[in-house]
Structure 1
Amino acid sequence: MSSLAPQPIDISGSSAPSDILHEVFGYAQFRGAQQDIVDHVVGGGDALVLMPTGGGKSLCYQIPAIARQRAGRGVAIVVSPLIALMHDQVGALHEAGVSAAFLNSTLDWEETQDVERRMLRGEITLLYAAPERVNTPRFLSQLDSLKERGKLSLFAIDEAHCVSQWGHDFRPEYRALTVLHERYAGVPRIALTATADALTRADIVERLQLEDARQFVSSFDRPNIRYTIVEKKDATTQLLRFIEREHEGDAGVVYCQSRKRVEDVAVSLRDAGINALPYHAGLDASVRQQHQDRFLREEGIVMVATIAFGMGIDKPDVRFVGHLDMPKNIEGYYQETGRAGRDGGPADAWMAYGLQDVVNQRRMIDESPAGEEFKQVMRGKLDALLSLAEASDCRRVRLLGYFGEKSTPCGNCDNCLNPPQVWDGTDAARKLLSTIYRVQQLSGISFGAGHIMDILRGKPTEKVKQFGHERISTYGIGAEFSEVALRGVLRQLIATGALAVDAEAFNTLKLTEGSRSVLRGETQVTLRESVSSPAERKPRREKTAKGAPPPAAAKLDDMGRKRFDALKAWRAEVAKEHNLPAYVIFHDATLAAIAERAPATLEDLQGISGIGTKKLEAYGSEVLRVCEAF
């Protein structure tokens, strides 16, 4: 809490949070910790909110902003990192009848001045701006003016993990937001994120000076998401089979590490008849915007992207998120997979993972110009993700455990549904390390994984003969191990630091201090059996038939389904006319509730979740007209 005690405000009548929730947003009651958070911030308290994607974070600052504005406290400033997020949030607020605006590079000078004048006159309830703009002298002087007149309501810092050097999406410009505490004491601040481990959380508190803020930490569990990690063989083919088998016609996001990989995978998916678009920082800004708009506004598009895409994407019906390359850490993995199934319907988080992923991530950390302390933290975070990938027990238990949350086996991840066999890889690990040592002794140089495995398995390749490595005592003593099994051993040795990859010497393998305990037999290496690709297993789920209703409408009868389809067609027209994603007009769940109720009067629409006063006035008659046809 700031050094100045917050002054009490009158939140009775139309300013009461529960009334705003119902009247403006059309919801009957708060979910989870929302009410406690809202009441705390409305009362002038600072807050740090950790809530999973789809948990309703935006309401935690939007309702306090409306309540405080109605009580005469003026404008709320929302710090947001993405233009697309600002546009959609402001559009959604306009649909709900709330005065909102944004300041970003899409506005010309005259439009910018108009927004600034409206802000200073107190005509805007929520103003969205990027951290770079918030920290400009011009904007700060405008905030000073609002503060002097008691018209600065609150600060909401969205995607707060961006402030932390330990977070998965660090943005230096977020660090300067300490000015909000130092310059505007007494104005409540709420920092929100979907992803932060204990280290990142502590860094957010320190950097934003939220030591006295109340912390609200919701469960990180997303029970509707099924986690699957397969051994990478031919990743693009594996992805294609996964989509064709389980997600034909569904919207999805596929993450790749490089721009070229994004382009190649997008082409492969399109060649297979999948409606796929590429997205990465190398594309022209107008192309990126066009692709993002299509993904948000059209159905069944698969976006193939680098991590440049995704933050703040509110599309509720993303049915799967795939990773063809391993992320840097669990926070990044959790944030990215969390973009699936925001509507609560069944969704998949699918990743193909292999030895080269381990090598690449280790190399990026080792070659970074950061200090050794930072590298050690990053290695620890990577190790946690590698442990998740190699796990033979419940993925969800491991994932939640990373964030300090205890749980029980979920029964819905790949390991729970098809428990993998495990084997003792200690002997294979010792033989691999011995081979690396003897090759180094004989030749004086290091070699890559393929050559080491050839020696151990006794394959008389040209390279083996060229260097005389068939004379090494370990030649052929690992013939009983398959290449797949040995790659698994290598992955775990590299993951645990018992083996290193020398990036400067063409990704050759070298022993480390950690190799000793394995060579002496002091460290046991337990491994899971090779994970089959999805195509080699019986399908886990019935494939959704093309044209099947979304989860929200699955329980409707035939007539209800017809009403739902008609309402969706009407919603698409309205969304196009307003240049907004369809879900901003009404979510599928709201349309399904309307279709089930078969309303005949405006009164029949009252109380349906997602229909506030403004939307009832704006769309009620049209909704009745659409339903009357059935």
Structure 2
Amino acid sequence: MGLTMDLQGALKKYFGFDQFKGLQENVIENVLDNRDTFVIMPTGGGKSLCYQLPALMKKGTAIVVSPLIALMKNQVDAIRGVSEEHGIAHVLNSSLTKTEVRQVKEDIVNGLTKLLYVAPESLTKEEYVDFLQQVTLSFVAVDEAHCISEWGHDFRPEYRNLRSIISRLGDAIPIIGLTATATPKVQEDIIKNLGMNDAKVFKASFNRPNLFYEVRPKTKNVDADIIRFVKQNQNKSGIVYCLSRKRVEELAQVLQVNGISAVPYHAGFDAKTRAKYQDMFLMEDVDVVVATIAFGMGIDKPDVRFVIHHDIPKSIESYYQETGRAGRDGGEGHCLAYYSYKDVEKLEKFMSGKPVAEQEIGHALLQEIVAYAETSMSRRKFILHYFGEDFDEVNGEGADMDDNTRNPKPKEEAKDSLVKLLRVVQDTMEKFKTKEIVRTLVGKTNALISSHRTEEKEIFGIGEDKDEQYWMALIRQVLVAGYLQKEIEQYGVLHVTEKGKAFLATPVSFLMTKDHEYKEEEDSSIITNGKSTGNAADEKLLKLLRDLRKREARKNDVPPFVVFQDPSLDDMALKYPITMEELLNVHGVGEGKAKKYGKPFVELISTYVEENDIVRPDDLVVKSTGANSGLKLYIIQSVDRKLPLDDIAAAKGLELPDLIKDMEQIVFSGTKLNLGYWVDEILDEDQQEEIHEYFLEAETDSITVAMEEFDGDYEEEELRIYRLKFMSEVAN
């Protein structure tokens, strides 16, 4: 009882809290008793307090091994904030100067330092090992302990040596291992590698009932969808994760130009820039941070309201840890992931150069995230099953907090199918993974199936009345229901459980739902290759715009396409721009063109919107970042200097057709290019006159139509270049 009172007092004194959260108190008591301790606690569960408080209470210095400098810095600042002694917490890593290292050592020797944060690499330095052998150490905390396991989502080989280093630091130093995500296999690995066989294990529930899980198909219009989502959650803090640094910077720019306060964050920025952007997010100077997974470990911002995955992550552990940064204060947290199998294929390609064992692990982890994205069952139940936890999807806390549960797909009886599935797993001697089991069911062979002569067995093809996707869906649901089990050690080989054997003996009803099919479709509002798909365009408005274009063309004595091209009109009938600024977001409309022809079009649309009570889809008006502005400027300047087009293309590593495409974007948006010098090189006077007359009279600027009209007299490139000269002179 006395210890509990002391603990409560210490908690209040150092951290200002009146009570512990979850398992914290039990964990801390175990650490204070000098016992090895293993803590599995989800992000936001208060892991760090489990070693910080006992370190402040015990004699000597606690060593905290952590993989990230940003995480160490945050925690050191936080501990210094609860004490008058600056030296109470220190970092020891490669970023320190000799003078700073000397100061750290001095503070430890003088008994000031209670917490010393080190990277695993620093602990291998002889100089530090020799020094730490001579001082009193209270315990060693290994944070992010899943880094020890090659089955973890963040394996780091240097973590493997920790046990031997800790042994060198002194006899019987207690160890506390902590992780926010660990499957049963990873837990086993951590305990074995840290030599903590007698450790007391504390495992908190992985259920975060306040988080809402949602997966959407990733179309070409994903940026517009993210903008719409963020604008619907205005002034709320959020994180958007992307896999590549390039995409992080592009998306951050797109958000910024669309009026969202956002910053990018990735490991490619220098430390000063990273710290600046991180602080802007923490201090609420910006609402959104677009980041690679380098961002977030140790970011203790309690009121992150949404976490968006622009790209599907590499494993369920990564996904769980990253989504876990939402709603840490118990308030709302929306976890939205965009899924496309193309992204999965990209990730598989990245793995191809790695050792075979690593590839096998990577593929196994990826297939779990594919299963999560495509499943139509309760997403919460799926995640918790992955972490070895049962969940009641009807009455459990947070049971209705995912898209599948809110919009359930109809269930169908699958008792007979389940019998077939379990028979195939048994009759193939439990040697196959999901892929081979599905192929066997539908009667398709491959090298592995042939090597076991499976096609000669009567079970081969017994499920051919159903497609492969059906069987995949059934296997995923049967795994969660506990009739089958995946052997992780064997990279996902399937075994029939005792429950499965009992089912085979006496089959009962089994209801299943089919998986989602995320088609690789383009969004109806996307413009591709200069042509709008137009599915969502307002046909009535489009007709009015075409009539107006004809009138304006007559008034200015130019062909209609010179005023605005068809894709631009399609886009206007989709986005309803009612100001000149909004008109600039329409495909193929630059400032020059908007100024010259835009006013009557904007006025017509404005009247139409008002008269027809149209709710404008503001989210579709996505401004581009002008990422190609450097190239655009180079082309304009080079043409002004009358450089040969071949040379301009070569200087930028382009083929001539690509350069022409870039020049078309410039001219069609309303900027002149004085290409007369080049046209004179490729076409004589009579030819120029003939093509000029044609475009003056033509109803359309289509090159295909022009090619047919001239019946092979001119090359496509010649006509495209002349059209640029014509548009520059006549339209702009």
TM interval, shorter chain, is 0.5 to 0.7
Mapped partners of 1:91, 1:14: distance in 2: 27
Mapped partners of 2:274, 2:437: distance in 1: 42
Q: Deviations over 1:436-473 (max 9, x none)?
A: xxxxxxxxxxxxxxxxxxxxxxxxxxxxxxxxxxxxxx
Mapped partners of 2:180, 2:71: distance in 1: 15
Aligned to 1:145: 134
Q: Deviations over 1:230-261 (max 9, x none)?
A: 1111221221122122x212211111111211
Query: What secondary structure, in the 3-state scheme, does the structure 1 residue paired with 2:42 have?
Result: coil
Asked if 1:525 corresponds to 2:469, the answer is: yes
Mapped partners of 1:100, 1:186: distance in 2: 23
- 8 Å Cα contact 2:182/2:387 also seen in 1: yes
Aligned to 1:60: 50
- Shift of residue 528, structure 1, vs aligned partner: 3.9
Q: How does 1:341-490 map to 2 (within 5 A)?
A: 341-365=327-351, 367-372=352-357, 374-409=358-393, 410-420=399-409
Q: How does 1:184-333 map to 2 (within 5 A)?
A: 184-233=170-219, 234-245=221-232, 247-333=233-319
Aligned to 2:76: 90
Superposed CA RMSD in Å reads 3.0
Mapped partners of 2:344, 2:438: distance in 1: 11
Mapped partners of 1:330, 1:128: distance in 2: 28
Q: Deviations over 1:392-431 (max 9, x none)?
A: 111101000100111122111111112245799xxxxxxx
Mapped partners of 2:225, 2:446: distance in 1: 33
Mapped partners of 1:201, 1:178: distance in 2: 16
Query: What secondary structure, in the 3-state scheme, does the structure 1 residue paired with 2:15 have?
Result: coil
For 1:125, which of 98, 114, 136 is the aligned residue?
A: 114
For 2:158, which of 140, 158, 173 is the aligned residue?
A: 173
- Cα gap change, 1:113 to 1:42, in 2 (>3 Å): same
Mapped partners of 2:356, 2:384: distance in 1: 29
- 8 Å Cα contact 1:120/1:142 also seen in 2: no
Aligned to 2:492: none
Q: Deviations over 1:59-87 (max 9, x none)?
A: 11112112212xxxx11111122222222
- Shift of residue 185, structure 1, vs aligned partner: 2.5
Mapped partners of 2:157, 2:227: distance in 1: 38
- Shift of residue 38, structure 1, vs aligned partner: 0.6
Q: How does 1:151-162 map to 2 (within 5 A)?
A: 151-162=136-147
- Cα gap change, 1:336 to 1:310, in 2 (>3 Å): same
For 2:125, which of 91, 116, 136 is the aligned residue?
A: 136
Q: Deviations over 1:101-142 (max 9, x none)?
A: 222344322122111111122111111121111221111111
Structure 2 residue ranges without an equivalent (≥5):
394-398, 414-432, 440-444, 450-454, 471-513, 525-732
Mapped partners of 1:415, 1:392: distance in 2: 6
- 8 Å Cα contact 2:312/2:343 also seen in 1: yes
Aligned residue identity for 2:319: Y
For 2:36, which of 43, 46, 58 is the aligned residue?
A: 46
- Shift of residue 22, structure 1, vs aligned partner: 1.9
Query: What secondary structure, in the 3-state scheme, does the structure 1 residue paired with 2:104 have?
Result: helix
Query: What secondary structure, in the 3-state scheme, does the structure 1 residue paired with 2:134 have?
Result: helix
- 8 Å Cα contact 1:422/1:528 also seen in 2: no
Aligned residue identity for 1:51: M
- Shift of residue 524, structure 1, vs aligned partner: 5.4
Aligned residue identity for 1:188: P
Aligned residue identity for 1:525: Q
Mapped partners of 2:111, 2:54: distance in 1: 16
Mapped partners of 1:529, 1:131: distance in 2: 43
- Cα gap change, 1:299 to 1:522, in 2 (>3 Å): same
Which is higher, the Rg of structure 1 or of structure 2?
2
Query: What secondary structure, in the 3-state scheme, does the structure 2 residue paired with 1:341 have?
Result: coil
- Cα gap change, 1:13 to 1:340, in 2 (>3 Å): closer
- Cα gap change, 1:299 to 1:419, in 2 (>3 Å): farther
- 8 Å Cα contact 1:278/1:304 also seen in 2: yes
Mapped partners of 1:265, 1:512: distance in 2: 43
Aligned residue identity for 2:23: A
- Cα gap change, 1:306 to 1:496, in 2 (>3 Å): farther
Aligned to 1:22: 12
Mapped partners of 1:249, 1:343: distance in 2: 17
> TM-score, normalised to structure 2's length?
0.56
Q: Deviations over 1:208-229 (max 9, x none)?
A: 1122211111101111111000
- Cα gap change, 1:227 to 1:517, in 2 (>3 Å): farther
Aligned to 2:604: none
Q: Which has the higher contact order (CA 8 A, sep 6+)?
A: 1
Mapped partners of 1:512, 1:412: distance in 2: 43
Aligned residue identity for 2:100: E
Mapped partners of 1:320, 1:81: distance in 2: 25
Which stretch has the larger CA shift, 520-529 or 225-234? 520-529
Mapped partners of 2:322, 2:222: distance in 1: 18
- Shift of residue 14, structure 1, vs aligned partner: 11
- Shift of residue 180, structure 1, vs aligned partner: 4.1
- 8 Å Cα contact 2:65/2:117 also seen in 1: yes
- 8 Å Cα contact 2:375/2:516 also seen in 1: no
Aligned residue identity for 2:48: S
Aligned to 2:677: none
Identity fraction in percent: 42
- Shift of residue 347, structure 1, vs aligned partner: 0.7
